[in-house]
Structure formats: C-alpha cells, structure tokens
Amino acid sequence: MNKPIPFLDLSQIPPDLKNALKEKFSQMLEKGIFSGGEEISQFESNLRDFLKVPFAIACSNGTDALELALRTLGIGPGDEVIVPALTWVSTAEAVFIMGARPIFADTDHNGLIDLGKLDALFTQKTKAIIPVHLYGKMVDMEKLLEWSRPKIILIIEDAAQAFGAFQNGISAGTWGDVGCFSFYPTKNLGALGEAGALVTKDESIQIRLKQMINHGQAARDKHLSIGRNARIDSLQAGFMNVKMDYFQAWQKKRKLLSSIYLENLIDVGDLSLPLDILRPNHNAHLFVIKTGKRDKLKTYLKSKGIGTAIHYPTILPKMLPYQDGKEYPIAEKLSMQVLSLPLNPWMNDEDVLSISYEIKRFFEKA
C-alpha cells in the first residue's frame, strides 16, 4: 500500500508555522493578557482589511456568530427564517435557539440554496434568509439581493466555509446585513481551537453586535440588553494573526491541487466534478465530487489508505429535531452522492495524482 493520505491531519502544519505559533504563545504567556487585548483588535483589523468591510467583530465560534446575528437583528418567536436543507446543523440550530422557525429550501445541484424556490417559501412571517456558501462556493448574492430588495427581509450570510471567496470582488459575508464566519480548525483559515467572526457594513448593527457578544455591555458595568459571553479567546486571536500571513499562499496551493484533480478526474466513470472551484467565488474549502457509487468508492479509497469525508450524509429536515415531513429531492440526492476528497495546503501534487489514480482504478474495476 502507498503512503496513507488522511482527509486532513492538522499535525502536518509546517514547522515554520508551528514555530511562529509557539513564539506567539510564549509572547502572550509573558504578557499575561488572556481575554480582550490588542491581539483581538489586530485580528479584527486584519479581517476588515482582507474582507474589505467596515466592521468586523471576532467572536467565540461560527454557531454563536449565527445566533448573535439573529438575536441582534431581533429575530425570535413567531418569525420564519429560510435556510437551505443541506448545510451544517448550526445554520438551522441557531434559528431554533432564538425561538424562530427554520423554513427549509431545497438546493441546486451544487448544494446551494435554490433561489428559484424562494418565492414559494416567502410568507408574512419571513423575517430573514440565511444563504450558506457551502463547500466555499458562494450563493449568487447579486441574484439573491435582487430577489430580496422589494421585500422586508434580512440577509444573514453563513460564510463559515467561505473565507477567501469573492463574487465580483466583494467578499462572502459582506453582501447581506450580517455575515458569519467560523475559524473552526479545519477551515481554510482555522484557529487552534474555536473562533468565529461577525461582519457588517452597518455601524449601528456593529455596535449592538459588539455589546451582544459581551453580556449586552456598552461600557464597563453598563448592561443595556441581554447578551452572551461569546468573546473570542485572546490566544486564538493571536494565533489567527500569525496564520493570516500564510493564508494567501495556502489558497494558491488549494487552487493548484484542485486543478490537478480536475485534469485527472475529467470523464472518469459517472463522476461529477466541482468545475468552478478555480473561480474567485469559490475558496476551494472542499473538493466535493458526486457519484452514484459514493459509498463503494469511499470504502475502496479507505482500503487504499485514502481518507475522505461526506458533507453531509443527512439533510437537516430529515434529522430528528428538524423533521418537517416535506421532500427536498435535490438536497437529498446530493446527501447520497457527495464525497469530499482530501484537499489541504500540506498535500503535494503526488498525493493528488495517487488519489486520482485510485479513483480511476475503482471505476475501471466497477
């Protein structure tokens, strides 16, 4: 058997980065500031610069970011929020936590919310929509804004997977009223633990978001609303400041590896490939292929030491807490066909070639 290729092994981050992170930890340990402080201000400034957005607030994680966006925008009991049927559970979970009701929309063949289905789901109770830039590919935000403009409806972007994706030069997360990011360790820009961020173009929203992540506190001991402790950990902000310097190079590597997959897997079996992964509106977070032989292919690759993942095997409206008895045929079909291949900046060309070779062998034998 060839050298095993894990789906993602974060212990493989390169030694120069490990040393830079150790150095940052030592500096912070000596300083003794473990909540708040300049690492957080620096990280927020880095986010503003990179995303080209006026306001960025670092927070505890992407799920809290979604909940706090909903809370800040006043969404609660009696309200409906449109979310895609295929996404990570947080998108609908945050809606439930706020006492509102998620209304699921079927997806298109890329797993993105089907904009053509929104009219049928829109009611008097619809307060917001949460487009999810799944796998790092952006929902067509221009089209979504065109649809939402004549209505009174808020847009909260779930950009948890989409840091580094831009449509017409405008970053994911910065098109709607509030954008939510996750820096979960496996993301393109990942913390060494939990972290997230909220972004907005609206100053009054940012003031409220800032208070909301800190117990509704406007100034020391002055609490204006019921908030949360959803502050980012200072250490994580420090680590993120180090990792930001590597991000652009990693993105290039992800795109390069993706192009090798595309060249080698074209016209193989019944495979459907993410053909637009090289475009700027995709950050190459996941390289997701589709095949009717998904489970067998996954097992075959595992037998060859190649790790893969499924994003996601069950659509939300078929999960116990979210069941609504309705059908979402495209999202459901995707949940049976999608397979994420290894794609991370610590892989090399040969890894992609040997994964592609094994996939071709599987289809030759099938």
Ligand X SMILES: Cc1ncc(COP(=O)(O)O)c(C=O)c1O
Cα 156 from Cα 176, distance rounded (Å): 6
Cβ–Cβ contacts within 10 Å for residue 32, how many?
A: 7
Site for ligand X in 188-207 (CB under 6 A): 196
Nearer to ligand X, 163 or 300 (CB): 163
Nearer to ligand X, 95 or 103 (CB): 95
Q: Which of 158, 177, 332, 351 binds ligand X (CB under 6 A)?
A: 158
Q: Is 239 in the site for ligand X (CB under 6 A)?
A: no
Q: Is 184 in the site for ligand X (CB under 6 A)?
A: yes
Q: Which residues pair with 104 in a beta bridge?
A: 83
Q: Which of 98, 132, 192, 343 binds ligand X (CB under 6 A)?
A: 132
Q: Which residues of 180-196 are buried (b: 16+ CB within 10 A; e: fewer)?
A: bbbbbeebbbbbbebbb
Straight-line distance from the first to the last Cα atom of the chain, in angstroms, rounded to the nearest whole number: 20
CB of 64 to ligand X, least distance (A): 7
Q: Is 283 in the site for ligand X (CB under 6 A)?
A: no
Site for ligand X in 43-62 (CB under 6 A): 61-62
Write the interaction track for ligand X spanning residues 64-103; mark x where CB under 6 A is met and - where it is not: -----------------------xx-xx------------
Cβ–Cβ contacts within 10 Å for residue 31, how many?
A: 13
**Residue that the structure tokens 């998108």 belong to:** 91
Nearer to ligand X, 55 or 184 (CB): 184
Q: Which of 148, 161, 251, 344 binds ligand X (CB under 6 A)?
A: 161
Of 119-127, 153-161, 222-230, 300-308: span binding ligand X (CB under 6 A): 153-161
CB of 304 to ligand X, least distance (A): 27
Which residues does 366 contact at the CB level (< 8 Å), separation at least 6? 269, 293, 296
CB 40 within 8 A of CB 234: yes
CB of 26 to ligand X, least distance (A): 26
* Cβ neighbourhood burial of 307 (10 Å; 0-12, 13-18, 19+): middle
Of 154-162, 253-261, 302-310, 321-329: span binding ligand X (CB under 6 A): 154-162
CB of 134 to ligand X, least distance (A): 6
**Residue that the structure tokens 């945050």 belong to:** 94
* Cβ neighbourhood burial of 27 (10 Å; 0-12, 13-18, 19+): exposed
For residue 355, the surrounding DSSP H or E stretch is helix 349-365
Q: Could you give the dihedral angle defined by the CA atoms of residues 185, 190, 196 and 202, in that order, rounded to the nearest 10 degrees?
A: -160
How many residues sit in the footprint of ligand X (CB under 6 A)? 14
Cα 314 from Cα 331, distance rounded (Å): 9
Nearer to ligand X, 62 or 102 (CB): 62
CB of 161 to ligand X, least distance (A): 5
Nearer to ligand X, 188 or 356 (CB): 188
User: Tokens representing 11?
Assistant: 């212990």
Q: Which of 5, 51, 63, 235 binds ligand X (CB under 6 A)?
A: 63
CB of 274 to ligand X, least distance (A): 16
Residues that bind ligand X (CB under 6 A): 61-63, 87-88, 90-91, 132, 158, 160-161, 182, 184, 196
